Amino acid sequence: MSGTVEAKLAALGIVLPVAAAPVANYVPSVTSGNLLWISGQISVVNGKFLAGKLGGEADIEAGRAAARQCAINLISQIKAALGDLDRVKRVVKLVGFVNAAPDFTDVPKVVNGASDLFVEVFGDAGRHARSAVGVASLPFDVSVEVEAVIEFA
């Protein structure tokens, strides 16, 4: 049924932003076979960066919210690339990068903000392999960046 994923987003109160244009020398996504590789999406909403270092200025809940926003931005890129979110067969993998203080070890809890949304929106097809990595910094001092690999029909 066409529009199933969009209906789920609406039920969750999520309005997808316009897919962000690249800010450097890369493309937003690349298709290879039936896989869609999406460039990292940062934690930005309505032009406002969800910023701060985890274990410093930002706590786990702020980090989870930033990761969730990354997932929303990824879904916008999926829609821009495929035209129809119901074409998603499987979220194959997410890679989450967390702007973390050296002693911050709860990186996986932060990236769960993105993972949880993909499962909420795509159900079992949203369950994925994942890497969650703490890094010294991210562009614009954002808290989180997430990239994805999507299988589509």
Set out the domains of the chain in order of their start, with CATH numbers: 26-87+103-152 (3.30.1330.40)
Q: How many CB atoms lie within 10 A of CB 96?
A: 27
For the chain, the farthest-separated pair of C-alpha atoms sits apart, in whole angstroms, at: 47
**What is the phi/psi pair of residue 67, to 5°?**
-65, -40
Cβ-in-10-Å burial (0-12, 13-18, 19+) of 153 comes to exposed
Residues 89-104 have a mean pLDDT of: 98
Nearest-angstrom CA–CA distance, 90 and 108 = 21
Nearest-angstrom CA–CA distance, 109 and 128 = 15
Q: Per-residue pLDDT for 1 more than 60?
A: no
Q: What is the pLDDT of residue 2?
A: 59
43-90 pLDDT per residue, tens? 999 999 999 999 999 999 999 999 999 999 999 999 999 999 999 999
